[in-house]
A = this chain, B = another copy of it.
Amino acid sequence: MKSTTRYLKLNVPERMDFVNITPDVEETVRESGVQEGLCLVNAMHITASVFINDDEPGLHEDYKRWLEKLAPFDASPEVYHHNRTGEDNGDAHHKRQVMGREVVVAVTNGEIDFGPWEQIFYGEFDGRREKRILIKVIGE
């Protein structure tokens, strides 16, 4: 069994934004030499997501408005008790649960086995500082 581990570092300048990390994951899969296997991609921070969807700016705007409605930003400790710790990112911990922590993709014939429009995104909900993403490929 082969395995490769890679850590991506990102510093997203906005509080909430989505970054297409597909090229980094594809590169890691190729470097691993794995022909048949699985590839895990996960946010290493709990106010961020990794998810698969469309690389379409209108959809990303829609996601931001929708997540803001489902879990609005509010720095006060009354709305999110988590903010009693001195943090202001209670909302980000909720947005991340909606969008998910990780994706697992199949590796087939040495490539990510994508459907027609699948792209891998990092979803940041408490940005403006360095965060890490883990990519792990296992297989043969």
Contact = CB atoms under 8 A, between A and B. Distances in A.
B36 A3 contact: yes
Q: Main secondary structure on chain A at its contact with chain B?
A: mixed
A103 interface: yes
A16 interface: no
A46 B118 contact: yes
Q: Bin the interface of chain A by size.
A: 35 or more
Q: Which of A57, A59, A116 has the most CB of B within 10 A?
A: A59
Interface of A: 1, 3, 5, 36-38, 40, 42-46, 51-54, 56-59, 61-63, 66, 70-71, 80-85, 90, 93-94, 96-106, 108, 113-118, 132, 134, 136, 138-140
